[in-house]
Amino acid sequence: MEMREIIMIWNIVITIVMAVVGFFMKEKFNEIQRLNILLNRTREEIARDSVTQAEVDKILDHIDQRFNKLEDKINQLIAR
């Protein structure tokens, strides 16, 4: 075999390997994009279903006020 034939065969092998690697990289990139979309949807659902700290503080403040009113009424009943 001549040097040109060896170089041509080597170029064909490298081209085939690079095509296979490129195909798998494209598939993995598409899979990463799909997973990223699913992750973003999951984050949106969790944010929609979760309670924020401000909401918790507001509810706890409301409960505290209600307990304070009950405590005042109980103290008034005891004072009678």
pLDDT in tens, 17-41: 999 999 999 999 999 999 999 999 9
Backbone φ and ψ of 52, nearest 5°: -80, 160
Asked if the model's pLDDT at residue 46 lies above 90, the reply is no
Which pTM value belongs to this model?
Answer: 0.53
d(C-alpha 37, C-alpha 33), whole Å: 6
d(C-alpha 56, C-alpha 64), whole Å: 12
d(C-alpha 59, C-alpha 48), whole Å: 18
Q: What is the per-residue pLDDT for 80?
A: 80
Alpha-carbon torsion, ordered 41, 44, 50, 54, to 10 deg = 160
Q: Where are the domains of the chain?
A: 1-49, 51-80
* Size of the chain, expressed as the number of residues it contains: 80
